[in-house]
Amino acid sequence: MTIADVNRQGAGTAGSQSARPRRRPRGRTRMTPGMRLLQLGLAVAVLAAWEVLVRVHVIDEFFFPRPSEIFSTMWLWISSGYVFPHLWVTIQESLLAFIVGAAAGLLLGFALARIGFLERLFQPFLQMFNALPRVVLAPIFLLWFGLGIWSKVAFGFTLVFFIVFFNTLEGVKSVDRVLIDNARMLGATERQLLRHVFIPSALTWIFSSLHISVGFAITGAVVGEYLGASAGVGYAIAQAQGVFDTKGVFAGMFILMIVVLIVDLAVNRIEHRLLRWRPTQSA
């Protein structure tokens, strides 16, 4: 039994029970080659304008170094191998924070969405912790876990968890009630409802949160490294800042942007594979 089976089986029942219009779900957006070229052209145009404005002294080169010099610094970091040990540490911290935070957010989100008593019980506490500025937790985690990777994982976890949790909670709660009733009429158990109704229906919400969480996991790792670490891209950026090397600061930022873009593309591929049953919209 799948969502399609439930919809076909319960179409007549739903029509007789309720005449209210149903929202048409939005399909997946597909990026066309033309849009990719436009995005690339926009990036090139911004970098070219930046380069020109610095060369004609409209922008102070000390605060905003030329993109050509930033890329030269990036190439120096890559060719010398300087950046790879730091990048590996940051990727480990980000990946652990992302996996643990997303898993905890998914599990708790599904549990509280299906058990109303638990949602009412934990709601004020979750709201309080979500409103807490995460930066104030970083020094505490450094005291608890030291300068190693686990203090950064804990900090990244606090950023990822709430994004995934609240999106999962709302995604499960927004499943069409008629769809649930039709599945129950067909004899679906709670496990079958979870597998064939709730998870597929909430996947759009879940992947939306995962796209955001990728960046926040890396942000948590880098901020933690910036505040106190012995390795990592955040540590390398802090070292460059300490000697007023703005080219090094921007080089570290650009490397992080490229990493986030690659990871986000991977999440996109997984999303498209799991949501093949949904209609596709052209960008």
More confident site: 264 or 41: 41
Lowest mean pLDDT among 42-46, 116-120, 181-185, 219-223: 181-185
Q: What CA–CA distance (Å, rounded) separates 20 from 17?
A: 9
Share of the chain above pLDDT 90, in %: 22
Tell the residue number behind the tokens 């997946």, with chain if given.
Answer: 28
Tell the residue number behind the tokens 């955040």, with chain if given.
Answer: 234
Two tokens, residue 111: 């549990």
CB 30 within 8 A of CB 282: yes
Tell the residue number behind the tokens 């997303």, with chain if given.
Answer: 102
Asked if the model's pLDDT at residue 171 lies above 70, the reply is yes
* Average of per-residue pLDDT across 12-28: 43
| SS3 call for 28 | strand
Q: What CA–CA distance (Å, rounded) separates 248 from 252?
A: 6
Asked if the model's pLDDT at residue 211 lies above 50, the reply is yes
Q: Dihedral, CA atoms, 52, 54, 56, 62, nearest 10 degrees?
A: -170
Asked if the model's pLDDT at residue 214 lies above 80, the reply is yes
**Whole-number pLDDT of residue 19:** 40
Two tokens, residue 21: 């219009």
pTM comes to 0.74
Residue 275: pLDDT band by 50, 70, 90 thresholds? Answer: low
